[in-house]
């Protein structure tokens, strides 16, 4: 790779999602639970940590006593065979059993609780792992797709949401640490997980199964919002793209349809029906670009279109050469797709 | 420090023609490893079958006559190998040579029949997972029969030249053991490739 | 069994001529051509160890480079392609080209000495296994230099490792090199099993066998039963890639999960294959430096055997997030937690043995004490990740990276380095420097914990594994910087041992026969041992033969082995009574030739399937040449 490429990538990354997740280092942390599953797991974690620390200290304390006993007394002071046997039985057999059996049982019951079946009629979202981004479909009761977007998932807060996880390429893993543990997206299978967000917020999710070159920059945002806000958002996403309002935007749409963009991207309501890249019908409503790699601002979008390999080396979007006027028009058009 | 003699081994055998020989154990190790490979192939076959919608995908079961004849020939060749081993146990070099040669010829017939059968397969390993696993197991076993044929041919040559004696026969013993293994390994493969599809389809 | 068969307890006086004759019989050819014909177990073992440590160094450098890349957010040292190759190589080399071969190498060198024999059961096969390993390692690193190294991870999950998503030669190289390691590991395993079961010194019944020999035996059996799974899976993968079979192609009825099952059915025992010999090293060192018999010999043996068995029932805990049914997976939670019991028994047998002993705190002992602190933490995090819900949060994060480095470095590498300090005087004949050894230990111990402890936290804060970069606002920068600093300290720590080892070869204090006053047979012969290992095969009457001899001021030996050819005593499996004498083969070029023939086939198939046939017949002819009886045929 050319050195310059990287430095550019860095600059853009750096300016990146900072503003979105500003200073909130807990936005992708299992220790900062905001969802039911993550909460249960965190409640398993803390007592486990305490017990494990105690066990570690006990073993090390016994070890220190063992090795320094003779030093202090100046003569060997071995345990009798009977004492040794009791030590091994108490600490080597009973202690591990006493520590692991309750742990295994509570882990089992938490697992069952997390896996409990969802109520009928729960909102269902289908997420398809792509190289290296996330395609998101909202489904109706019959499983029909009512809206399609990418890399940004909205859900209503305090409601269990069913996620159908798929992949049509390699294995990915769907994971929002603040809300739930990860579930793999296996080609040829549909895995199901449920997410219940207990607090409104923007949570970051990231692919957790190594999936090739840009595994590192395959993230997404999960926006948990009040039900009314969510309904309004979903209603917006269901609509076809807005018609251009200005001549500039009109030209932008022409550019989009005539350049190679439409081969890979769809904008519902236009003749652009490409399926290889993210659906752009409401791109302006999203917070990030390139699978939560950079914020969705006009400057970043321009940089992404003209040279995506600088921002995310190895990704599948080719660079597009446009005259400055056409680029401006395209950016205004895409910027209008709320 | 005094060094005392405790055991005198000068009178002990230097030949170890049976399971006292390290090589006998070495071949046992090889057979153990390969048995685990055979088992893993079987598990892989059953795993693929368990997740398939139809097995075989075409719904047609493979013909069973020639594989069954091959099974008989392989078992017969094991018996002639056994006779050869019995021969050299008595010191009869001629029975050894004839026995090993007969086994090699029988296994060669198996190779010819298997080649014809493979050529007649109606599917390629490229068609579907069923084709892949059937071909992989077939070729795996074919290669093993080939190795016992060429390996035992060498044993046969040495036998005709009179190298093996009642004492100097560990080569025959390990060759015979490996021969048994290759023939017996055909039994699970035979059941899997030719009878399991009949269970699925039937 | 009565071992005192000789009529009167005859004193043995060796004439220098006889000894010289024996030395000539077991002599290994020197010089460049001689190098390719040596078969003596100590030569092969030493080569395995040195080669493995060179790979450890190289893979360690890759690890350091990855640490530098991750030291701060959005670094530009390595791009994604290079980083992905590096972590794939780091994992593959550490697991396959360092950990298994080095443990085998130590076992190959030490076990025959410990059981009191002159070589291993199949000396030429031993040499063959080494050459296959060497060629495999060279080709693997060659691929890195050519920029076509594997980059789909050491686990090579399909479909990512399939031809569609990993075009090029990288994954082909990986599958081929795995085949090399399978062959090499399996030959060594069979070799060790037969040597241990059939060639122990008379009187060394199974219940008198040194604990390291037990560990080597269990390790070898585990290799025999674990490797076949990866033989089959790597074969299926290379067939998918080279001749378009459909094993892992979903559209044609293939099953990506089959790969995961097969790989982890091997991959989990693999971890214990590395750990088990280290447990044997720990027992050995504790016995020597406490200067008294260990407590719980039987319990320690049973624990190692139990770990060996249970490790085959854990593989699904690598697959908790794949969507398998909960109830079935819970079995694997229970099995994984159960491994805490044999581990606990071992740890407390050792603590009981250390309790109140007059411990000599030499360098080997320090590394073993370091093991306790690190391994206990690694074991506890291991129990944690056996919980399905908890694992869904930390699986494939830096928490798991921390966990298995605690287990593998703390559990295996620390005891291994301790074992190097312990056995180095025997192998080289000179002591390593104690001061440098202690510096090395403390730097490595501190560096290790600074490197890997923060990774637990990083994983819980959501940092996934195998990412080449991360954004500043993720907040992972500080802990990563700390880890990188720790890695540099750790590297300095290991580096001191490397320098110490090289320095000691010419400058170290001469070791003498038994510098540590250890009780096992390898210390009964000169350092380094003469070509024949033991002037006379010893006869053993307890678990601690050298301490017996010291007390009694006399020892008993076997007589009647010829000096003019390579003869060893065969003994029975359980009670080691002598049952025969085996004549072992001497130097030969054919193991090397066969290894070259096999390599030609393995490497060739990457380019064309016809090399399978070519390789088959090349190997066949070289094996015929190898085994063809030379006249005059031996008659006695």
| pTM, 2 dp | 0.94
Higher pLDDT, A321 or B83: B83
Mean pLDDT across A280-296: 94
Q: Which residues contact A49 (CB under 8 A, 6 or more apart)?
A: none
Contacting residues of B for C189, CB less than 8 Å apart: 29
Look at B20 and C580 and tell me if their CB atoms are within 8 Å: yes
CB-based contacts of B198, cutoff 8 Å, min separation 6: B61, B64
Joined together, the tokens standing for residue A113 give 């609780």
Using one digit for the tens of pLDDT, what is the confidence trace for C444-464? 999 999 999 999 999 999 999
Q: How confident is the model at residue A9 (pLDDT cuts 50, 70, 90)?
A: very low
Task: List A residues 54-73 in contact with C (Cβ-Cβ < 8 A).
Answer: 55-56, 59-60, 62-63, 65-67, 69-71, 73
C334, C354, C393: residue with CB nearest A66: C354
d(CA C478, CA C472): 10
> Residue B5: beta bridge partners?
C557
Q: How far is A277 from chain C (nearest CA, A)?
A: 17
What local confidence, expressed as pLDDT, does residue C632 receive?
Answer: 79
* Partners of residue A60 in chain C, C-beta under 8 Å: 372-373, 376
What is the distance between the alpha carbons of residues A193 and C384, in angstroms, rounded to a whole number?
Answer: 22
Q: What is the mean pLDDT of residues C411-438?
A: 97
Average pLDDT over residues A78-91: 92
pLDDT at C2: 44
Interface-testing mutation among B1, B2, B3, with chain C (most C C-beta atoms within 10 A): B3
Pairing of strands A152-156, A219-225: parallel
Interface of A with C in 16-45 (CB under 8 A): 16-18, 21-26, 28-31, 37-38, 40-41, 44-45
Task: Tell me the chain B residues in contact with residue C9 when contact means C-beta distances shorter than 8 Å.
Answer: 4-6
pLDDT at A20 (0 to 100): 47
- Other Cβ atoms within 10 Å of B191 Cβ, number: 13
C625-634 per-position pLDDT tens digit: 999 988 878 8
**Residue found by looking up tokens 């590297």 in the block:** C491
Question: How confident is the model at residue A306, as a pLDDT?
Answer: 93
Class of domain A123-238: mainly beta
pLDDT above 90 (res C395): yes
What is the per-residue pLDDT across A67-83, written as a single tens digit (0 to 9) for each?
A: 988 777 777 788 899 99
- Nearest CA to C380 out of C337, C333, C331, C332 is that of C337
The distance of B123 to chain C (nearest Cα, Å) reads 12
- For the purposes of burial, counting CB atoms within 10 Å of the CB of A314, is it exposed (0-12), middle (13-18) or buried (19 or more)? middle
Tokens 């200005």, located at residue: A246
Tokens 């490197």: give the residue. Answer: C451
Report pLDDT for B139. 96
Q: Which two tokens stand for residue B127?
A: 């068609």
To the nearest whole number, what is the mean pLDDT of chain A? 90
Question: At C624, is the secondary structure helix, strand, or coil?
Answer: helix
Confidence of residue A17 (pLDDT cuts 50, 70, 90): very low
Query: Is residue A260 predicted with pLDDT exceeding 90?
Result: no
SS3 assignment, position C582? strand
CA distance A148 to A139: 9
C518: helix, coil or strand? coil
pLDDT value of residue A19? 43
pLDDT for C3 beyond 60: no
A308: which 2 tokens? Answer: 């995506």
Question: Is residue A11's pLDDT more than 60?
Answer: no
| Residue A120 confidence class, pLDDT cut points 50, 70, 90 | confident
pLDDT over 70 for what percent of chain C? 99
Out of B44, B143, B168, name the one closest to residue C258 (CB).
Answer: B44
Tens of pLDDT, residues B120-149: 999 999 999 999 999 999 999 999 999 999
Nearest to C326 by CA among C368, C258, C388: C388
Q: Residue A308: is its pLDDT beyond 50?
A: yes
**Residue A277 above 80 pLDDT?**
yes
The answer to whether the bond into A256 is cis (omega within 30° of 0) is no
Beta bridge partners, A180, equal A176
Least confident of A7-11, A35-39, C67-71: A7-11
Domain B35-200 has CATH 3.40.50.970: no
Give mean pLDDT, residues A260-281: 93
Peptide bond into A132 cis (omega under 30): yes
For every residue of C69-130, DSSP letters joined together read: HHSSTT--SS-HHHHHHHHHHHHHIIIIIIIHHHHHHHHHHHHHHHTT-SS-S-HHHHHHHH
Nearest CB to A170; choose among C160, C340, C470 = C160
- Binned at pLDDT 50, 70 and 90, residue A16 comes out as very low
Please say if the pLDDT value at position A199 is more than 80. yes
The predicted-structure confidence for C274-317, as pLDDT tens digits, reads as follows 999 999 999 999 999 999 999 999 999 999 999 999 999 999 98
User: Which one, of C484, C488, C463, lies nearest residue C474 by Cα?
Assistant: C463
* pLDDT value, residue A22: 41
pLDDT average, residue stretch C63-81: 95
Q: What whole-number distance in Å separates Cα of residue A300 and Cα of residue A295?
A: 7
Of B113, B164, B169, nearest to B141 (Cα)? B113
Handedness of CA B128, B133, B136, B142 (dihedral sign): negative
Are the C-beta atoms of residues B148 and B107 closer than 8 Å to each other? yes
Q: How many CB atoms neighbour CB A207 within 10 A?
A: 30
Q: What is the pLDDT of residues C16-29, one digit of tens each?
A: 999 999 999 999 99
pLDDT > 50? residue A1: no
Phi-psi map region of C464: left, alpha, beta (phi>0 left; psi -120 to 50 alpha): beta
For residue range C91-136, what is the model confidence (pLDDT) as tens digits?
A: 999 999 999 999 999 999 999 999 999 999 999 999 999 999 999 9
Full 3-state SS string of chain B: CEEEEEEECCCCCCCCCCCCCHHHHHHHHHHHHHHHHHHHHHHHHHHHHHHCCCCCCCCCCCCCHHHHHHHHHHHHHHHHHHHHHHHHHCCCHHHHHHHHHHHHHHHHHHHHHHHHHHHHCCCCCCCCHHHHHHHHHHHHHHHHHHHHHHHHHHHHHHHHCCCCCCCCCHHHHHHHHHHHHHHHHHHHHHHHHHHHHHHHHC
Backbone angles phi, psi at A168, to 5 degrees: -115, 15
In a 3-state reduction of DSSP, which class is residue C556? strand
- The pLDDT assigned to B19 comes to 83
Q: What pLDDT sits at residue A239?
A: 94
What are the extents of the domains in chain A?
Answer: 34-114, 123-238, 247-335
pLDDT in tens, C588-606: 999 999 999 999 999 999 9
b/e burial code for range A101-125 (CB count within 10 A of at least 16 → b): eebbebbbebbeebeeeeeeeebbb
Closest CA in chain B for residue C554: B2
Task: Give the pLDDT confidence score for residue A21 in this predicted structure.
Answer: 47
Enumerate the β-bridge partners of residue A185. Answer: A172
Q: What per-residue confidence (pLDDT) applies to A18?
A: 43
pLDDT tens digit sequence for C170-181: 999 999 999 899
Strand A161-167 with A123-129, pairing: parallel
- In chain B, the N- to C-terminal Cα span, in Å, equals 79
| C344: nearest CB among A73, A95, A208 | A95
From chain C residues 230-269, the ones with a CB under 8 A of any chain B CB are: 231-232, 235-236, 239-240, 243-247, 249, 252-255, 258, 261-262
Backbone angles phi, psi at A80, to 5 degrees: -75, 165
Average pLDDT of chain C? 94
Question: Helices A95-114 and A36-73 meet at what angle, rounded to 10?
Answer: 170
What one-character DSSP code corresponds to residue C40?
-
The residues spanned by each domain of chain B are 35-200
Q: Work out the minimum CA distance from B184 to partner chain C, whole angstroms.
A: 18
Which phi and psi angles does A224 have, rounded to 5°? -100, 125
Residue found by looking up tokens 């040829």 in the block = A188
Band the pLDDT of C8: cuts 50, 70, 90: low
pLDDT at B202: 65
Confirm or reject contact between A199 and chain C (CB < 8 A). Answer: no
Do residues A131 and A170 touch, judged by C-beta distance below 8 A?
Answer: yes
The reply to whether A309 touches chain C by the CB within 8 Å rule is no
Strand (E) or helix (H) holding C580? strand C578-583
Other beta carbons within 10 angstroms of residue C411's beta carbon come to: 28
Q: Does A288 lie at the interface with C, CB-CB under 8 angstroms?
A: no
Confidence at C571, pLDDT banded by 50, 70, 90: very high
Q: Which pLDDT band, with edges at 50, 70 and 90, does A25 fall under?
A: low
> 3-class secondary structure for chain A?
CCHHHHHHHHHHHHHCCCCCCCCCHHHHCCCCCCEHHHHHHHHHHHHHHHHHHHHHHHHHHHHHHHHHHHHHHCCCCCCCHHHHHHHHHHHHHHHHHHHHHHHHHHHHHHHHHHCCCCCCCCEEEEEEECCCCEEEEEECCCCCEEEEEECEEEEECCCCEEEEEEECCCCEEEEECCCEEEEEECECCCEEEEECECCCEEEEEECCCCCCCCHHHCEEEEEEECHHHHHHHHHHHHCCCCCCCCHHHHHHHHHHHHCCHHHHCECECECCECCCCCCCCCHHHCCEECCCCEECCHHHHHHHHHCHHHHCCCCCCCCCCCCHHHHHHHHHHHHHCC
Report pLDDT for C419.
97
Residue of A nearest to C371 (CA): A60
For the four alpha carbons of C55, C57, C62 and C66, in that order, the dihedral sign comes to positive
Interface contact flag, C344 A92, Cβ < 8 Å: yes
- For chain B, the chains sharing at least 3 beta-carbon pairs closer than 8 angstroms are C
* Strand B2-8 relative to strand C554-559, pairing: parallel
- The upper half-sphere exposure of residue C466, i.e. CA atoms within 13 Å in the direction of its Cβ, equals 29
Tell the CATH topology of A247-335: Immunoglobulin-like (2.60.40)
Pull the structure tokens for residue A163: 């996620």
Rounded distance, CA A189 to CA C323, Å?
9
């Amino acid at each position: 790779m050319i050195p310059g490429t990287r430095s550019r990538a860095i600059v853009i990354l750096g300016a990146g999602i900072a503003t979105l997740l500003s200073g909130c280092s807990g936005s992708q942390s299992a220790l900062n639970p905001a969802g039911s599953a993550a909460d249960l797991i965190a409640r398993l974690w803390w007592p486990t940590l305490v017990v494990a620390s105690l066990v570690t200290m006990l073993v090390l304390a016994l070890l220190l006593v063992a090795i320094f006993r003779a030093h202090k007394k100046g003569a060997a002071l071995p345990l009798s065979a009977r004492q040794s046997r009791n030590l091994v039985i108490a600490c080597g057999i009973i202690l591990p059993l006493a520590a692991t059996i309750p742990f295994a049982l509570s882990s089992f019951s938490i697992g069952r609780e997390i896996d409990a079946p969802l109520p009928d009629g729960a909102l269902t979202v289908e997420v398809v792992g792509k190289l290296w981004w996330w395609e998101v479909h909202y489904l109706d009761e019959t499983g029909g797709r009512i809206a399609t977007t990418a890399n940004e998932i909205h859900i209503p807060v305090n409601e269990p949401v069913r996620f159908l996880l798929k992949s049509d390429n390699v294995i990915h893993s769907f994971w929002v640490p603040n809300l739930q543990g990860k579930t793999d997206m296996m080609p040829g299978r549909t895995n199901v997980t449920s997410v219940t967000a207990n607090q409104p917020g923007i949570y970051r999710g990231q692919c957790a199964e190594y999936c090739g070159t840009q595994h590192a920059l395959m993230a997404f945002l999960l926006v948990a919002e009040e039900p009314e806000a969510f309904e309004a958002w979903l209603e917006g996403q269901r609509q076809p793209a807005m018609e251009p309002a200005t001549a500039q935007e009109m030209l932008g749409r022409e550019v989009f349809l005539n350049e190679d963009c439409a081969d890979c991207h769809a904008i519902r309501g236009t003749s652009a029906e490409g399926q290889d890249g993210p659906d752009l019908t409401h791109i302006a409503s999203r917070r990030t670009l390139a699978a939560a790699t950079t914020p969705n601002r006009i400057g970043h979008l321009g940089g992404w279109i003209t040279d995506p390999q600088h921002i995310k080396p190895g990704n599948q979007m080719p660079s597009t050469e446009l005259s400055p006027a056409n680029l401006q028009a395209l950016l205004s058009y895409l910027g209008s797709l709320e | 420090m005094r060094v005392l003699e405790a055991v005198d081994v000068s009178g002990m055998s230097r030949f170890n023609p049976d399971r006292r020989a390290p090589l006998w154990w070495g071949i046992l190790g090889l057979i153990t490893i390969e048995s685990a490979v055979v088992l893993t192939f079987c598990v892989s076959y059953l795993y693929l079958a368990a997740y398939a919608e139809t097995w075989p995908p075409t719904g047609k079961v493979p013909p069973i006559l020639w594989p069954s004849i091959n099974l008989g020939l392989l078992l017969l060749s094991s018996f002639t190998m056994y006779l050869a081993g019995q021969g050299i146990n008595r010191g009869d070099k001629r029975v050894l040579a004839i026995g090993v040669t007969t086994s090699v010829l029988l296994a060669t017939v198996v190779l010819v029949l298997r080649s014809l059968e493979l050529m007649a397969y109606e599917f390629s390993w490229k068609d579907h997972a069923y084709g892949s696993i059937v071909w992989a197991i077939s070729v795996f076993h074919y290669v093993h029969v080939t190795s016992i044929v060429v390996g035992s041919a060498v044993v046969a040559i040495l036998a005709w030249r009179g190298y093996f004696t009642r004492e100097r026969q560990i080569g025959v013993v390990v060759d015979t053991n490996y021969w048994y293994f290759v023939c017996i390994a055909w039994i699970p493969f035979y059941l899997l490739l030719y009878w399991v599809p009949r269970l699925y389809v039937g | 069994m009565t071992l005192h068969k000789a009529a009167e307890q005859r004193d043995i006086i060796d004439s220098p001529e006889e000894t010289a004759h024996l030395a000539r019989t077991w002599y290994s050819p020197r010089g460049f051509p001689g190098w390719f014909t040596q078969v003596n177990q100590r030569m092969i073992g030493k080569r395995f160890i040195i080669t493995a440590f060179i790979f450890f160094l190289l893979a360690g450098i890759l690890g350091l480079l990855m640490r530098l890349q991750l030291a701060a957010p959005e670094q530009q040292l390595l791009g994604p392609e290079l980083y992905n190759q590096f972590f794939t190589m780091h994992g593959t080399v550490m697991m396959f080209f360092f950990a298994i071969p080095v443990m085998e190498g130590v076992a190959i060198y030490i076990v025959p000495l410990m059981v009191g024999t002159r070589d291993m059961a199949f000396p030429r096969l031993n040499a063959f296994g080494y050459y296959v390993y060497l060629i495999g390692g060279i080709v693997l690193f060659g691929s890195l230099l050519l920029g076509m190294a594997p980059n789909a991870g050491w686990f090579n999950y399909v479909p990512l490792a399939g031809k569609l998503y990993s075009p090029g030669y990288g994954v082909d190289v990986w599958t081929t090199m795995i085949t090399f390691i399978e062959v090499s590991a399996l030959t060594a395993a069979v070799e060790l099993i037969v040597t241990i079961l059939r060639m122990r010194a008379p009187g060394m019944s199974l219940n008198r066998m040194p604990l390291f020999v037990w560990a080597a035996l269990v390790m070898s059996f585990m290799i025999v039963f674990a490797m076949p799974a990866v033989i089959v899976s790597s074969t299926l993968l290379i067939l998918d890639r080279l001749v378009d079979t459909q094993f892992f192609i979903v559209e044609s009825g293939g099953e990506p999960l089959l790969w995961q099952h097969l790989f982890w059915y091997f991959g989990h025992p693999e971890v214990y294959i590395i750990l088990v010999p280290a447990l044997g090293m720990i027992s050995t060192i504790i016995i020597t430096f406490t200067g008294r018999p260990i407590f719980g010999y039987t319990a320690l043996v049973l624990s190692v055997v139990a770990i060996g068995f249970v490790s085959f029932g854990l593989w699904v805990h690598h697959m908790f997030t794949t969507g398998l049914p909960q109830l079935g997976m819970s079995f694997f939670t229970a099995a994984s937690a159960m491994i805490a019991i044999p581990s606990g028994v071992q740890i407390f047998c050792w603590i009981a043995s250390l309790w109140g002993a007059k411990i000599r705190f030499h360098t080997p002992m320090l590394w073993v004490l370091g093991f306790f602190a690190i391994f206990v933490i690694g074991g506890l995090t291991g129990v944690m990740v056996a919980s399905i819900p908890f694992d869904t949060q930390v699986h494939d994060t830096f928490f798991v990276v921390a966990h298995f480095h605690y287990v593998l470095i703390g559990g295996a590498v620390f005891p291994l380095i301790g074992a190097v300090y312990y056995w180095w005087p025997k192998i080289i004949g000179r002591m390593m420097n104690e001061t440098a050894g202690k510096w090395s230990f403390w730097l490595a111990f501190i560096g290790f914990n600074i490197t890997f402890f923060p990774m637990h936290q990083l994983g819980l804060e959501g940092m996934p594994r195998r990412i080449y970069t991360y954004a500043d606002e993720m907040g992972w920068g500080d802990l990563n910087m700390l880890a990188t600093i720790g890695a540099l300290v750790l590297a300095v720590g290991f580096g001191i041992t490397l320098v110490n080892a090289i320095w000691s070869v010419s400058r170290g204090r001469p070791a003498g026969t038994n510098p540590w006053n250890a009780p096992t047979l390898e210390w009964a012969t000169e350092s380094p041992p003469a070509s024949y290992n033991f002037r006379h095969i010893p006869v053993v009457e307890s678990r601690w033969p050298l301490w017996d001899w010291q007390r009694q001021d006399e020892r008993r030996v076997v007589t009647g082995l010829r000096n003019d050819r390579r003869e060893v005593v065969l003994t029975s499996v359980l009670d080691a009574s002598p049952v025969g004498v085996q004549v072992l083969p001497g130097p030969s070029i054919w193991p090397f030739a066969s290894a070259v023939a096999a390599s030609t086939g393995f490497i060739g198939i990457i380019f064309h399937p016809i090399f399978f046939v070519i390789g088959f017949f090349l190997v066949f002819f070289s094996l015929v040449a190898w085994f063809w009886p030379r006249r005059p045929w031996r008659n006695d």
